[in-house]
A and B are shown apart, each in its own frame.
Chain A
Amino acid sequence: MTFPARPKTRLTELSARERAAALLDSGTFRELIGPFERLESPHLELQGVVPACDDGVVVARGDLDGKEAVVLAVEGLFQGGGIGEVSGAKIAGALELALRDAESGHPVCPVLLLETGGIRLQEANLGLLAVAEIHQAIVALRSHVPVVGVVAGMVGCFGGMAIAAGLCSHVIMTREGRLGLNGPQVVEQEAGVAELDSDDRRLVWETIGGQQRVATGVADVLVEDDVAMIAETVRTACEAGVPAENRSAQVGRYEARLARIDVSEPVDGPALRALWDDEGEER
């Protein structure tokens, strides 16, 4: 059996702006507060960091299968995708407008492309406030429309923005994507190399990588790092609508899952997959 040859484009090779454009219906991409408006972070130059003209977040309106959408794409190459005052306000503000529209019966599907180490430490508490506002907007919005999170790589999704991913209606990951609260290097630094060797790629991906997260139900769909396939998966997630019970509200299920962990024994990724097998456990 042969397949028609199709040039594959990896989403992870694209910039945030290109990612947003590639996911939306062809020709519908329209950026809000684009780079020529130069709405930069007012806090970075003081600390010897060159600001970016979009502060590392692209807000794009456009369509997904003809339906209105807003894509919020974090640029992982700028300051590790760290969320500062401006970039955080772009995400929170766009979600707040989508909420306003949804409440007046005009649904706009929000898609978050999460390549971020979390809050940008140079902007500290301003980032903390912005991330709390992002959390609020996701929780309010997702009862009207599904909020879709994509963790494709290469930065991964950590810190306060990993909490945001935890709040999303649907989380899509690639094998390259990683999702966790504290990044591996931070865990190694704070708890020691015996706790976690952040250079051990196999170990890291078996712990927080996309395949592991989807296998244990902590994320929803594993997809190849291919623009066309991810675009299709995002459309399917938007189409799937609002889940009956969001993952972050499944308290009984996760308390039972934690109760099944024997803390006197080591547990690793493969062992957890057996223990948290969706098929084998009662919901």
Chain B
Amino acid sequence: MSRGKTWFEALAGAIPDGEPASVLCADGTVGDERSRFLAVVPNPEARFPRARDGELGLEEGWALARRVREAVVEDLDDDRRALVAVVDVPGQPYGYREELLGLHLALAAAVDAYATARLAGHPVVALVVGQALSGAFLAHGMQANRILALEDPGVAVQVMSKRSTARVTRRSVEDLDEIAKEVPATAYDVTSFARLGALHRLIEGVNAEQPDAEDVERVREALAEAIYSARHDGSTDLSGRLASPEARQHRDASLRVRERLAEEWSR
């Protein structure tokens, strides 16, 4: 069973029915908070064959958008429920049909929905339990106002899979590993990603593959804290990522550019 499915089931209870079967969505609670859990999981029967191994494809992008927007509309006059994205996505499918049918737009739909929910006041929390790669992570996770990740060797955050990056850049996997030692932004491990300051918390000492009840409880506590802090910090954008001590050190150029732009913006 995929990690995404394992953690979805552990947090949401049962695996719900729904279309497409690759997008899991269920309402439950985290502490006192009403929460909608969302995950993209492998579906060997998927209508589009290039998205059968957990890739975030055409149907997945639009279905995530539908599920997130449903919650936004239902909660318009009510407390905004939390949205918890359980992230274990190996990337997006590479295919002719996918490009023809507007895969970029399907991913934009998911980005749009999560960002819209966050801006409307829903606490959006991403929980990275496995791979968080490429456009798939942009669409399912990166628009969260809190990102949590399990500290585990199987957790990876990167722009492209190592295999594909090696092919595109015509370097060997060994070369890429060497570069990653010098340039942490190119590394795959979650500890390197944490150095960039965008993680709210790295959760240590949890069995990511086969969590027991205690592991699940620890993650629930971390989620509850993340939802609480997202709800109460008065900001619905992503500016917190640049305010962290890690970002001050490792995203110095991002901060300098913004300072300079603000100085020069108005004559």
Q: Which A49-89 residues have a C-beta within 8 angstroms of B?
A: 59, 61, 85-86, 88-89
Count B-side interface residues using an 8 Å CB cutoff. 75
The answer to whether the Cβ of A191 comes within 8 Å of any Cβ in the partner chain is yes
13 CB contacts below 8 A, A to B, read A32-B261, A119-B159, A135-B143, A139-B111, A160-B135, A166-B108, A179-B104, A186-B168, A195-B95, A196-B96, A216-B102, A254-B106, A272-B101
Q: Are A85's CB and B107's CB within 8 A?
A: no
Q: Is the interface of A mostly helix, strand, loop or mixed?
A: helix
- Which of B96, B103, B142, B267 gathers most chain A CB within 10 Å? B96
Query: Are the C-beta atoms of A190 and B143 separated by less than 8 Å?
Result: no
Contact B96 A187 (CB under 8 A): yes
Determine if A181 and B103 form an interchain contact, defined as CB atoms under 8 angstroms apart.
yes
Listed in ascending order, the chain B residues whose CB lies under 8 Å from chain A are: 47-50, 58-59, 62-63, 65-66, 69, 92, 94-109, 111-113, 115-116, 119, 135, 137-139, 142-143, 157-160, 164-165, 167-169, 179, 182-183, 185-187, 192-193, 196, 198, 237-238, 241, 251-254, 256-258, 260-262, 264-265, 267
- Using Cβ atoms and an 8 Å threshold, which residues of chain A touch B182? 46
Q: Are B105 and A248 in contact (CB under 8 A)?
A: yes
A121 touches B159 (CB 8 A): yes
Name A129's closest neighbour in chain B (CB-CB). B198
With A90-B261, A139-B115, A190-B94 already in contact, the answer to whether A163 and B138 are too (CB < 8 A) is: yes
List of B residues within 8 angstroms of A94 by Cβ: 261, 265
**Contact call B186/A251, Cβ cutoff below 8 A:** no
Whether A59 lies near B168 (C-beta < 8 A) is no
Contact flag A128-B142 (CB < 8 Å), given A86-B257, A166-B105: yes
Interface readout for A144-185 with B: 1 if CB under 8 Å, 0 if not?
A: 000000000000001110111111000000000001111010
**In the complex, A181→B264 CA distance in Å?**
34
Contact B265 A32 (CB under 8 A): yes
Smallest CB separation, B28 vs chain A (Å): 23
Contact A251-B99, Cβ < 8 Å, known A129-B251, A163-B108, A182-B92: no
**Complex: chain A residue closest to B236, CB-CB:** A140
A116 at interface by CB-CB < 8 Å: no
Contacting pair A267 B97 (CB below 8 A): yes
Decide yes or no whether A268 CB sits under 8 A from chain B: yes
Measured between beta carbons, the chain B residues less than 8 angstroms from A247 are 105, 108
Residue A136 is within 8 A (CB to CB) of chain B in the complex: yes
User: B142, A255: Cβ atoms under 8 Å?
Assistant: no
Chain B residues within an 8 Å CB radius of A263:
47-49, 97
Binds B, one of A6-14, A34-42, A231-239: A34-42
Q: Which residues of B sit under 8 angstroms from A119, Cβ to Cβ? A: 159
Let me know if A41 and B186 touch, CB within 8 A.
Answer: no
Per the bound structure, the CA–CA distance linking A159 and B133 in Å amounts to 12
* Chain A hits for B251, CB < 8 A: 85, 126, 129
Given A180-B99, A186-B168, A187-B96, answer yes or no on A124-B158 (Cβ-Cβ < 8 Å): yes
**Chain B nearest Cβ from A27, distance in angstroms:** 14
Chain B nearest CB, measured from A191 CB (Å): 5
Q: Which residues of B contact A135 (CB under 8 A)?
A: 111, 115, 138, 142-143
Q: Mark A83-111, 1 if CB is under 8 A from B, else 0.
A: 00110111001101100000000000000
Closest-CB distance, A44 to chain B (whole angstroms): 10
- Inter-chain contacts of B109 with A (CB < 8 A): 166, 248-249, 251, 254
Kindly list the 3 A-B residue pairs having the minimum CB-CB distance in the complex, ordered from nearest: A166-B108, A162-B104, A89-B257
Question: Nearest-CB distance from B236 to chain A (Å)?
Answer: 9
The reply to whether B257 and A90 form a contact with Cβ atoms under 8 Å apart is yes
Instruction: Assess the B100–A207 pair: CB atoms within 8 A.
Output: yes
Shortest Cβ distance from residue B116 to the other chain A in the assembled complex, whole angstroms = 6
Q: Which residues of A contact B241 (CB under 8 A)?
A: 129, 133
Q: Are B94 and A128 in contact (CB under 8 A)?
A: no
In the bound complex, CA of A132 to CA of B251 (Å): 14
Q: Is the CB of B142 within 8 A of A132?
A: yes
Q: Which residues of A contact B47 (CB under 8 A)?
A: 263
Instruction: Please name all residues of chain A whose beta carbon is closer than 8 Å to the beta carbon of B267 when the two chains form the complex.
Output: 30
Beyond A139-B115, A263-B47, whether A165 also contacts B104 by CB under 8 A is yes
Which B residues are in CB contact (< 8 Å) with A158?
104
- B257 contacts across to A, CB distance below 8 A: 33, 39, 86, 89-90, 93
With A131-B138, A133-B238, A186-B164 given, name 15 new contacts (CB 8 A): A37-B260, A46-B182, A90-B257, A90-B261, A93-B261, A97-B265, A121-B160, A121-B169, A125-B185, A132-B138, A162-B104, A195-B94, A251-B62, A251-B66, A255-B63
CB distance from A91 to the nearest CB of B (A): 10
CB distance B253 to A33 under 8 Å?
no
Contact of B159 with A195 in the complex, beta carbons under 8 Å: no
In the bound complex, what is the Cα–Cα distance between A164 and B111 (angstroms)?
9
State in angstroms the CA–CA spacing of A41 and B254 once bound together: 10
Q: Given A32-B265, A124-B159, is A159 in contact with B179 using a C-beta cutoff of 8 Å?
A: no
